Structure formats: structure tokens, C-alpha cells
Structure 1
Amino acid sequence: MLLYEQLADQLRTQIAQGALRAGERLPSIRQLASSHGVSAATAVQACLQLEREGIAQARPRSGYFVQAAATATPATRPSRRRAPGAVSNPMLQDVLDMLSRDDLLPLHSATLAPELLPQSGITAALSHCLRHAPLAALDYAPPQGHLALRRQITQRYAQLGASVSPDEIVITAGAMEAISLTLRTLTQPGDVVLVESPTYHGILQAIAALHLKVLEVPNLPERGIDVERLDQLLQKHQVRAAVLVPNFNNPLGSLTGDDAKRSLLASCARHGTIVIEDDIYGELAWSGQRPSPLRRLDRHGIVVTCSSFSKILPPGLRVGWIVGADWTDALVRAKYFSTVGGASLQQLALAHYLQRHDLERHLRRLRKALADNAQRLREGIARYWPAETRTCNPSGGLSLWLQLPQDIDTYATFEAALAEGIGTSPGTLFSSRGDYADCLRLSCGLPWSETLDRALLRLGKLAAKNRR
């Protein structure tokens, strides 16, 4: 056995015996070389061998860390709803109370911590607009939004190979206004809207507010939208619109592949169903390989894309947009009747920021940080939570979805965590009828810290304490 293999075997044994636990740092290359009487090159080879085996993970400028043991993926379950019906989940009303609290460690909120945001660049852009164009910055924005910002959004779509005109973009107050405005424009009370299960609770709240019926199609943890089931549902039911999150679904973080996207578009076109695409997480591919929005693959003219800057830039700016296709004029009228015009300052500042700053550089740093946060969360769960806990392994977005053992009262765990100042999102929030009672969603948007590590330890203890 070669020297590096012997060293790797010794480290492997320490990990198996628990002397080195998931998430803990291996001794440095210098320490390994000194304590084992080998060269630095041999120590490096040993660590590389453990990395190839998936036992260790290299982190830039930090060294090698013990990789969390692979956990089972949450079980996939078909939607319990067999026919369209009203949203009937009382938990959706309670979420506002949690969101209004500012005393929680926000593991419940799919937003970024301030330190992950380019605050100085945004502040400089806001100041520039107030100094150089105060009248425009403090006036109403046009109903469709400022042209300078619409052009910048168009350029980002062009980089993806999607043909989008500034004339078909409507600026909104975030992605939720974009989705709500699109639903209000394209549907009538009583229409059936297809959504994924599980899906973001804000989508369900918008559907309920507009008195629409909901039909659920399964989203599978590491495959995305169940396209075969979607086609079966469209054959059986008349569906006016489908609100889908194919790129890093919230809460699963799953990615629907391009072939599946093409299939679902063909199915929707065949059955006369409009697709409302929520692409708010598309920029957060941790690999850096930005997945295609449905708009890029649409050959049928059936996609309305909704998105926002809120997941990559300060969310308080509240700037989102709709790519309205043939429905743009109707959407602009609806926007005018609803809010007259948006806020100019944020739109002009974002246009200035996108012109003068390197957004891609920020995104590269952000994606790496989120990938690291998610990995450390999974390592912490492997260390501290009941052994049977299942976790998704997403490749992008801001969410980590967990399935707890069946004998644990997940809602009691959620309430106990709230009482101790830790926010989590119970799985029941992400279903029209309160399914997924054994699941939780955590946010990956917080940089790793001792506070976060202690919170995961406490959550694991609360979960174990709430066994039925």
C-alpha cells in the first residue's frame, strides 16, 4: 500500500469511528505531514483520495472537511388531490404572523442575509439617481416601467439565447405581484390552475385570493415536475393556466431538465393551457450553469415569465417583472388600473447598477456561498438530527427540504423552535390542503456561523424531544 493510501486509510478510520465528524475540518496539510512523518505532497494525495471517495470536501482557502454521509432523499408522494378544488389550508393564513416577526433566526425565510448582497453598489446607485435625476427618481414610473431597466432585463435574456423585446416587459413590485397580476389578467373566478406539489405558499395564496380552483401535479425531489402526470391531468381536466417553478422549485430546490420542459410545453400547448413561469431562482444555479427559462424553449407562444431581482439583490427594492408575450398590452392595462405606476427610484437605480457594475461577479460569489451554506446545513442535520431524517440534495435556489421520521411531531417541533427564536417553515405551508406534515423547509440564505450551528443542534434536540 502506498504512503498516501495508508494515510487516507487512517483518516477514513477516524471518520468511521467518529473521531472526525461530518462538517469538521481535517488537519491541515502541514499538520498531516508533520504528525504522520510524510511529505506535504503525500498528505495532499491522501486528501484528494478521500475527496474522490466523497468522504471529504475541499473548501477554498479553508482546507478539507468531512463530508456529510449521504442521507435518503425525501419520499416522493403523488398529490392527494384527485380533482380541482379550492385552496383549503388554514396554515396559509398564519404565515403572516411569522413573517412579521423580526426576533427570529430566519431559517424560515427564503431571502439572502445582508452580508451576501452588494449593498455598497446599490447604495451608490440610489445616491447617483437622487443627485443627478431627482425629479425623475421621485416621480411615478410609467405603468410599464422605465425603459432603461426593461432594456437591461432584455440584455440578460439575450445572454441566455431567449429573444425578448423591451416592449413586452412589465415592471412589477416583485415576483409575487407579477404572478398575481398575470393570474388576475388571464383567468376568471372558478378557472382551474395547475401548480406543483409542493409549491411556494405565496402562489397558493394568490390562487385563493382570486377564487380559482387548484389542481396539483407532483414535483419530484431530484427530477422536477412530473411531466407524465401533468399530461394525464391536462387530458382529464380543463386547465386555464399552469403556474410552474421549473428552475429550483421552492421548497424542494429541484430542477426540471430541458427535455422535460419541452414535453410539458407541448402538453400545455396541445390542451390550450397558458404557462405562467416563476423563474425567480433561475440565476441561483450553484454550479454556475444557468438553466434555461421556459421562455427560451417555448415554440408555441404560451409562456408568460415572471421573475424578480429579490433573490440576488436587496429584496426591499421590490422590483420584479413580467415577460408578457401576446398578453403584454392587457397586463400593462391591468397594472395601470391596479397601481397607476411603480416607484421610479428603485427602477432607475437598478438600471444604473446593472450598467455600471459586474453582476456576474456578484453572482459567482453568491452561488458559491449558497452551495457552501447548503452543504453545511446538511452536515449539521447529519450530526444533530434524528438519524432517519431525509434531506433533499438541491443544486440551486435558496431552500433545503427535510422529511422527519414519522414518529416525530413536526408541527410541535416548529412551534417549539418559534418559542426559542428560531424560524422554520412547516411542510404543510406548501400544499393546498396541508399535506407534508412530516416535512420542514430551511433557508440556505444565511452564511454559516456558530449561531447557526447552535440553532441546528437545538432544532435536532427539539425534534427528538417531540417524538410521539
Structure 2
Amino acid sequence: MTLQSLAPSQHLYEHVADRIRTLITEKTLQPGDRLPSVRKLHEQFSVSISTVLEAYRLLEDQGLIGARPQSGYFVKQSHLFTPDEPKQSALPKHNFPVEVSLAYRVGVTMRDPNKVKLGAAVPGLELLPIATLNRLMSQIIRTHSEAVHSYSIAKGCESLHHEVAKRLIDAGCSINPNEIVITNGTTEAVYLSLRAVTKPGDTVAIESPCYYGILEALESLHLKALELPTHPQEGISLDHLEAALEHRQIAACALVPNFSNPLGSCMSDVNKQHLVTLLNQYDIPLIEDDIYGDLHFEGTRPKAVKAFDTEGRVLYCASASKTLSPGLRVGWSVPGRYQLKIEQLKMAMNWMTSIASQLTVAAFLGNGGYDRHLRQLRRAYQSQIIRMTQAVCDYFPAETKVTRPSGGYVLWLELSNEFEAMALYEEALDHQISVAPGVMFSPSGNYANCLRLNCGLPWTPEIDRAMQTLGYLTKRQLARKMLNE
């Protein structure tokens, strides 16, 4: 590489930055690629090291590159073109009983191993520390040969309590290990929490769209859902929640405040504090699902709502399913004032969570490698979100709106009102592709023109072909509708 003559008003470092920017915009250097070292560019461009550093600082300020300690500079995980984002959802007119037979049917097909799994929000197993977990479990079975086959107390193993309590410091929570109850994943933690604070016929305030697993729990407990408008960046509308608390009988709230599924929204600390103030004012419990909290892309981990809870009204739920292993089924609850009730319900339901699984997760959390694993996982998910978003831009209709999550690994697509996501779901199955139609995420049948896509799987040519196919089917469906009109 050589430098051309400078523009009259241009500094030398700006010219160097222009050359690097061109390599990025022309995709010679792609998101995640390592840039040439400062010394290498100093030699190639015949400029001083300080000039190269100034160029890199300029590109860093412009959001194109980022520095990693002791690793150098890398092209930042950002889009060259970003589609519009969906607007905040509208306020439904009524509370609705939850009926989830569709979610069950779609959920079965989403997990078909013969299909490209773009519907189920599952992580790629190749991104998870399976070999290390297997080794740790083997050691635990050998060294705790009787304990892993014995009954234990319902609240779980003491060693895991301590490790989870230490991890919760990053979420802004100061938790005594004795306040933690171990569960079979976040799903059981949420289910037990709903049982602890509601009775059949009660109404629970939820985000809209809402994770269909929460809807399944509501349906099984004969609860009603009050869908509240939710913004793709800011989360649930607290103004609408406050109005609902003033005028309706609400027994509880069930929310995913950090990187919600399916929108990917993340509430600010200010809104989390305001939410807790509302809960205290109206004496309403919150079931907080924080399963994606550790999967932020930039900066520090967002705080949990539990971090602002001083009166024990927040029943915090999370697990290792999205970061370590879905199959180990290790989750936890910090239920505050409802702890005794949760422990009694846990014992009545299945007595305890697998001892071998608990000790395996505790050993991994305690061996010092979890933070390093999370850094790698976050970079992978961020890269996959970007690749999927770019594929939507390349293959789907130009008017398609896409969320811009800053963590987690799901995308929410909104198409024109004429689009029928269920029709695409059926057609995609014929092409061995699973997707999650938007109606799964609303008990009132909203979001018929929306899709959720899974970005938890490493990008492959197979996924790229699947996205091309989905884009083609979408365009064909809309073109047929225009002809029929």
C-alpha cells in the first residue's frame, strides 16, 4: 500500500484513515478482522507511528474500529447499512386468556434437527464449553459418587449458591447465597414465581410482543395477560404500566428487562429504578427473567431490576442455558419475600435439580474461565447478529424493519401489513427451514406480519442459503398479493 498525494486541506493522518476506511467499506476488511499493526502501517505507508495512531484514533471515534487490550485494533461489529427499526407496539383493548397450542406446534418443528433452526432461540453448541463441562462432570461423578445419586434440599447446592451470588455482583445485586433457590432452568424459575404470586383468573402485565415461554406458563396456570406497549430499545412503556396499575386489577408483572426476547430491548437504569418505584407504590411483584443479561455486546453488564429492589418484590430468574449448556437445566431464582413459598413449590413439583448438573456449573463458574468464555461468546453473537441483519438487507423486501439489539441473539422483523408470517412459516418448512411467526408472541393474535430469527448459530453457507430462500419466499408472497389486488 502506498499513499497518494494529499488533498490540500487534509492532514496526513486523515489520509491514512481514508485508506483504511476504504478497505472497510469495500469489505476487504470485514467486521471482526484484525487491522494491520501500527508498526506495519508505519512501514507500508512510510509515515510516523504517531500518524498511524492518530488515524486509528480517528477511525475509533467514528465507530469503525475498536481496540482490544494486548490484541491490537479490529474492525468494529457494525452495519454499513442499517434498516429502520420497528416502532413501539400498540396498546391492546382487552385482557386476553392465553392459548398456546400454536406455540407448542411451532416449537416442535423449530427443534427438528433436520431443519435450519432459525426459529428456536438456541445457541450453537460449538460456541459452548462442552468439552470442559464434560470433563468437570466426569470428575464430579468420580469424586462425589454417592452425593450425585442422593436427594438434596429443594433450594440446591451450597457451592452453586456461592458462585451464583458472586456472579450477581456484576448485575448490581448484593445477594446472600442463602437467598438463592436452584431450579431446572429459567423456565421453572418463572413458572414457580408465577405460582407463588398469583391465583387462577388473575391478570399479569407483560411486554408486547412477549416471549412465548412466559405465555405458556400463563396459560398453564389459567392466568390472563395484559399486553403493554414495548419499545425495541427502551422496553416496556412505564407510562402505560402506571395507567394500568391505576385502573386495572393486576396481580403481577412478568418482564425480560435485559435484551428481551423477541425484541432485544434493554431498559435503562433510570427506567429500572422507576419500575421498582411503581411496584412498591402499588404493592405489585415482578417476575424478572434475566437469562440474556450476561450477553451484552459493549460496555459493562446491564444491571438487573433486582439491583434496585429494597423491599423484596422482585423475583429474579436466570440460568446457564444461554451461556454454558441448555441441556444441564441449571437455573436459579432470587425470590425475595417469596422465598419460602418458592422452596415449598419447588419441593412439591420435583424436589430438586440434578446434583451432578449443579456441581458441574458451580465448578465451571469457580474455575476462573467464565469471563473469558463470555467475552468470546459475546463477540460471536454480535457478529452473528450483524451477519443476519445484513442478510435481511440483502435478501428481504427493502421496507423490512429490523430491531437493533445491543445484546442477546435474536432479531425481530416487521414487514408490510399484507405479509402473512404463518404462510411463510408453512412454506419454509417445505424447504427445511424453521422460523418463529410473530403471532406466537401475542395472546391477542398481534404481529401476524412479524418474524423472530435466531442468531445463536455460527454463520454458515447453509444459513446464508436459508436466508436467501426466506427472502425469495417473502417477496413472492407479497408479489402474489399485489397481483390479486
Same fold, judged at TM 0.5 (above)? yes
The correspondence for 2:472, drawn from 458, 461, 464, is 461
Q: How many angstroms does 1:238 deviate by?
A: 1.5
Q: State the alpha-carbon separation in 1 of the partners of residues 66 and 272 from structure 2.
A: 34
* Residues 181-260 of structure 1 aligned to structure 2 (within 5 Å): 181-260=192-271
Q: How many angstroms does 1:57 deviate by?
A: 5.9
Equivalent residue for 1:157?
A: 168
Relative distance call for 1:8 and 1:91 in structure 2 (3 A) is: same
Q: How many angstroms does 1:180 deviate by?
A: 0.7
Q: How many angstroms does 1:384 deviate by?
A: 1.7
Relative distance call for 1:174 and 1:106 in structure 2 (3 A) is: same
Equivalent residue for 2:4?
A: none
Relative distance call for 1:12 and 1:309 in structure 2 (3 A) is: closer
Equivalent residue for 2:109?
A: 98
Equivalent residue for 1:143?
A: 154
Instruction: Identify unmatched segments of 5+ residues in structure 2.
Output: 1-6
Q: State the alpha-carbon separation in 1 of the partners of residues 176 and 111 from structure 2.
A: 38
Equivalent position amino acid for 1:438 in 2: N
What is the CA deviation profile of residues 353-381 of structure 1, one whole-angstrom value per residue up to 9, with x for unaligned ones? 22224211111111111111111111121
* Residues 2-401 of structure 1 aligned to structure 2 (within 5 Å): 2=10, 67-80=79-92, 82-88=93-99, 90-401=101-412
Q: State the alpha-carbon separation in 2 of the partners of residues 27 and 363 from structure 1.
A: 20
For the 8 Å contact 1:22–1:382, the answer to whether it is kept is no
For the 8 Å contact 1:174–1:321, the answer to whether it is kept is yes
Tell which deviates more after alignment, 433-442 or 96-105: 96-105
The correspondence for 1:405, drawn from 413, 416, 438, is 416
Q: Secondary structure at the match of 2:327?
A: helix
Equivalent position amino acid for 2:160 in 1: L
Q: How many angstroms does 1:185 deviate by?
A: 2.1
Return the TM-score normalized by structure 2: 0.86
For the 8 Å contact 2:34–2:74, the answer to whether it is kept is no
Relative distance call for 1:187 and 1:209 in structure 2 (3 A) is: same
Considering only aligned residues, what root-mean-square deviation do their CA atoms show, in Å?
Answer: 3.1
Q: Secondary structure at the match of 2:457?
A: coil
The correspondence for 1:423, drawn from 415, 421, 434, is 434
Q: State the alpha-carbon separation in 2 of the partners of residues 4 and 406 from structure 1.
A: 49
What is the CA deviation profile of residues 309-353 of structure 1, one whole-angstrom value per residue up to 9, with x for unaligned ones? 101001100011111212111111111111122211101111122
Q: Secondary structure at the match of 1:134?
A: coil
Provide the identity percentage: 36
Q: How many angstroms does 1:48 deviate by?
A: 7.7
Q: State the alpha-carbon separation in 2 of the partners of residues 129 and 250 from structure 1.
A: 34
Relative distance call for 1:179 and 1:47 in structure 2 (3 A) is: same
Q: State the alpha-carbon separation in 2 of the partners of residues 53 and 288 from structure 1.
A: 17
Q: State the alpha-carbon separation in 2 of the partners of residues 256 and 145 from structure 1.
A: 31
Q: How many angstroms does 1:6 deviate by?
A: 7.1
Return the TM-score normalized by structure 1: 0.89
For the 8 Å contact 1:190–1:212, the answer to whether it is kept is yes
Q: How many angstroms does 1:194 deviate by?
A: 0.8
Q: How many angstroms does 1:47 deviate by?
A: 8.6
Relative distance call for 1:78 and 1:136 in structure 2 (3 A) is: same
Q: Secondary structure at the match of 2:90?
A: coil
Instruction: Identify unmatched segments of 5+ residues in structure 1.
Output: none
Relative distance call for 1:7 and 1:22 in structure 2 (3 A) is: closer
Q: State the alpha-carbon separation in 1 of the partners of residues 386 and 106 from structure 2.
A: 27
What is the CA deviation profile of residues 172-218 of structure 1, one whole-angstrom value per residue up to 9, with x for unaligned ones? 11001111111112211011111111110000010011101111111
Relative distance call for 1:53 and 1:10 in structure 2 (3 A) is: same
Q: State the alpha-carbon separation in 2 of the partners of residues 317 and 293 from structure 1.
A: 24
Q: How many angstroms does 1:306 deviate by?
A: 0.9
Q: How many angstroms does 1:414 deviate by?
A: 2.1
Q: How many angstroms does 1:88 deviate by?
A: 4.0
Equivalent position amino acid for 2:90 in 1: P
Q: State the alpha-carbon separation in 2 of the partners of residues 7 and 161 from structure 1.
A: 42
For the 8 Å contact 1:288–1:364, the answer to whether it is kept is no
